[in-house]
């Protein structure tokens, strides 16, 4: 039987340490992260050279549910399949994968290459039946744990939504104040544009006719994504008009569960999740009169004016509704007047001259040798209120919007750097390039050159020193003479493999 504790009994040259917590920036505040990084020191204590211990922490912030988005896990699986890994260390093996398919694929690779898996409970040999059975149970329990956590979270969201207390994104034209109250947007231009859509709908009765009428008038509609704070004005189209007309928030209703997730598999075998709408009868929560609807006062005024004199009972009901709506309008106007009253007074001419003089001194203060980086950060905080980055991936460009303290906005276009990725495989030109570079460059220098040119390893990963050495060995390329002695000395320090 193969020993499970001696590094010399493992036929690979490097153990691996895999975990799912944040990087070293959180170690000072998180003792759990410190324990995970301490596993690398434990591997050195057990006999592995420090240069043979690799820490895999590329999956920061990634869920362990799917492997296609986790570069670190894919790299680990590839190295295990190539037989480059001796043992995988982790505090809990359940943190490696939350999917049974990914977990059992890794176990199969470890069983084929003789790679061990170790955590705080013990050391496991996936090729052994009993150990594989235990590891399989741990993987199943980990997947079940994720399911239970997700179910509890969804249940909590559903109960909170049933009370109308779950804060959902609001459409353009509505905003939420500090205490959670929903009210109309203070931007008069936005309110007028939304009101115009409903007025045309009352007259036309068709969303496409509303679009045609808005286009004929030369009107633009306000648009804003959920992650954006900046309002964009774009020409009207059917999608934007239909979204305004069918959103229950404009009618003062609270709705939850308007969409459901639909899972599909693309041509590459990856699971895709998209959102599809559901009928009103299938909405999980629908609370009418949850908050004041848009523009109710004008609508009820029109209803009252259109009422015939003989319909007095209906007229009195409409009159009462109109009075309530007008009272709400007065409250909104009072709130807007209060905001205007607290607005700072405009600067006087001497104050403007003084500010321009100080602005002219900014470059000298910024570039002064006595100004520290901390001083520069404080200066930026004094001048800027917010910075908004909008990325257009289709055009490989971005827009940086600087929001100054006085409310002024400055937009700066930024051209994104686009790099074409070359998947190398075993292409002859890659072998020739490595052969030329290896005449006077180390493996680390070669890896830097290949990464800069966009070359990728046969497994689709960036080149590093280990992968360059694998390419040299595959192409029978000797290392540079000035680095050959140092590599030979490093290899002599590794523990010998146990052939038995």
Please name which of 419, 423, 462, 421 lies closest in space to residue 444, comparing C-alpha atoms. Answer: 462
Q: Which stretch of DSSP H or E encloses residue 342?
A: none
Decide if 260 is inside a domain.
Answer: yes
408 plus 438 within the same structural domain: no
41 plus 76 within the same structural domain: yes
90 plus 127 within the same structural domain: yes
d(CA 318, CA 320): 5
Domain finish residue from 136, 159, 182? 159
The parent domain of residue 275 ranges over: 174-294
Decide if 360 is inside a domain.
Answer: no
Q: What is the pLDDT of residue 4?
A: 47
181 plus 284 within the same structural domain: yes
Overall domain count for the chain: 5
Decide if 464 is inside a domain.
Answer: yes
96 plus 191 within the same structural domain: no
Model confidence pTM above 0.75: no
198 plus 148 within the same structural domain: no
Residue 336 corresponds to which tokens in the numbers above? 């807007």
Q: What is the pLDDT of residue 205?
A: 76
Decide if 51 is inside a domain.
Answer: yes
84 plus 186 within the same structural domain: no
Please name which of 240, 243, 188, 191 lies closest in space to residue 215, comparing C-alpha atoms. Answer: 240
Q: What is the pLDDT of residue 290?
A: 78
Residues 6+ apart with CB under 8 A from 480: 438, 439, 440, 441, 442
Decide if 367 is inside a domain.
Answer: no
428 plus 411 within the same structural domain: no
Domain finish residue from 240, 275, 294? 294
For residue 346, report the phi and psi dihedrals to the nearest 5 degrees: -65, 155
Q: What is the dihedral of CA 484, 489, 493, 497, to 10 degrees?
A: 40
Other beta carbons within 10 Å of 17: 23
426 plus 473 within the same structural domain: yes
Residue 114 corresponds to which tokens in the numbers above? 């003789």
Contact 425, 458 (CB under 8 A): yes
Distances (CA, A) of 309 to 200, 299, 305, 314, 319: 27, 19, 10, 10, 12
Residues 6+ apart with CB under 8 A from 351: none
Helix pair angle (71-81, 100-113), 10° resolution = 30
Q: What is the pLDDT of residue 62?
A: 56
Decide if 166 is inside a domain.
Answer: no
13 plus 117 within the same structural domain: yes
Decide if 413 is inside a domain.
Answer: yes
Q: What is the pLDDT of residue 316?
A: 60
188 plus 284 within the same structural domain: yes
- Per residue of the chain (500 residues), what is the pLDDT tens digit? 344 443 433 444 444 444 443 343 443 444 555 666 777 787 778 777 877 788 877 666 555 555 566 777 888 888 888 888 888 888 888 777 777 788 888 889 999 999 998 888 888 999 999 988 888 888 888 888 888 888 898 888 888 888 888 888 888 888 887 777 787 777 778 888 888 888 888 888 788 888 899 999 888 998 887 767 788 888 999 888 888 888 888 888 888 888 888 888 877 777 788 888 888 888 888 888 777 665 754 555 455 455 555 454 555 666 677 777 778 888 888 887 887 777 777 778 888 888 888 888 888 888 998 999 888 888 888 888 888 888 887 777 889 999 888 778 889 888 776 444 444 445 788 888 888 888 888 888 998 888 888 888 777 778 888 888 888 888 888 887 655 545 544 454 444 444 33
Q: What is the pLDDT of residue 493?
A: 44
307 plus 264 within the same structural domain: no
Q: What is the pLDDT of residue 287?
A: 84
Decide if 350 is inside a domain.
Answer: no
Residue 130 burial by CB count (10 A; 0-12/13-18/19+): exposed, middle or buried?
A: exposed
Q: What is the pLDDT of residue 458?
A: 72
Domain finish residue from 367, 384, 418? 418
């Amino acid at each position: 039987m193969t020993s499970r504790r001696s590094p010399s009994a493992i036929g690979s040259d490097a153990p691996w340490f895999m975990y799912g917590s944040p990087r070293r920036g959180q170690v000072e505040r998180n003792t759990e992260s410190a324990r995970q990084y301490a596993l690398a020191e434990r591997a050195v204590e057990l006999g592995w050279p420090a240069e043979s211990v690799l820490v895999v922490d590329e999956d920061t912030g990634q869920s362990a549910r799917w492997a296609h988005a986790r570069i670190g896990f894919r790299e680990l699986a590839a190295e295990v399949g190539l037989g480059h890994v001796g043992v995988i260390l982790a505090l809990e093996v359940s943190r490696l994968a939350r999917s049974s398919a990914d977990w059992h694929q890794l176990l199969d690779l470890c069983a084929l290459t003789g790679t061990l898996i170790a955590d705080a409970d013990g050391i496991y040999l996936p090729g052994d039946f009993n150990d594989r059975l235990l590891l399989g149970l741990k993987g199943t329990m980990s997947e079940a744990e994720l399911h239970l956590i997700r179910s509890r979270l969804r249940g909590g969201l559903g109960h909170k939504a049933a009370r109308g207390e779950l804060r959902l994104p609001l459409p353009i034209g509505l905003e939420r104040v500090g205490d959670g109250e929903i009210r109309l947007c203070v931007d008069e231009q936005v309110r007028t544009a939304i009101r115009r859509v409903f007025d045309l709908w009352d007259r036309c009765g068709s969303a496409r006719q509303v679009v045609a009428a808005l286009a004929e008038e030369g009107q633009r509609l306000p648009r804003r994504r959920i992650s954006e704070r900046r309002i964009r004005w774009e020409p009207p189209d059917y999608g934007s008009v239909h979204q305004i007309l069918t959103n229950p928030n404009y009618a003062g209703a609270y709705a939850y569960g308007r969409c459901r997730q639909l899972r599909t598999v693309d041509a590459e075998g990856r699971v895709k999740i998209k959102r599809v709408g559901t009928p009103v009868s299938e909405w999980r929560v629908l609370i009418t009169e949850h908050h004041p609807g848009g523009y109710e006062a004008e609508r009820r005024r029109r209803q009252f004016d259109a009422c015939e004199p003989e319909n007095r009972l209906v007229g009195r009901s409409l009159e009462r509704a109109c009075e309530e709506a007008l009272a709400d309008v007065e409250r909104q106007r009072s709130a807007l007047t209060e905001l205007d009253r607290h607005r700072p007074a405009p600067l006087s001419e001497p104050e403007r001259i003084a500010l321009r003089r100080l602005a002219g001194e900014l470059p000298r203060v910024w570039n002064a040798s006595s100004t520290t980086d901390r001083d520069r950060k404080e200066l930026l905080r004094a001048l800027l209120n917010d910075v908004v980055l909008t990325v257009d991936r289709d055009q490989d460009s971005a827009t940086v919007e600087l929001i100054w303290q006085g409310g002024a906005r400055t937009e700066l276009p930024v051209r994104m750097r686009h790099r074409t990725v070359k998947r190398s495989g075993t292409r002859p030109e890659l072998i020739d390039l490595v052969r030329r570079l290896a005449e006077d460059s180390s493996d680390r220098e070669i890896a830097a050159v290949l990464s800069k040119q966009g070359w990728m390893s046969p497994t689709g990963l960036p080149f590093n020193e280990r992968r360059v050495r694998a390419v040299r060995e595959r192409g029978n390329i000797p290392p540079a003479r000035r680095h050959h002695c140092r590599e030979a000395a490093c290899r002599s320090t590794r523990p010998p493999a146990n052939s038995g």
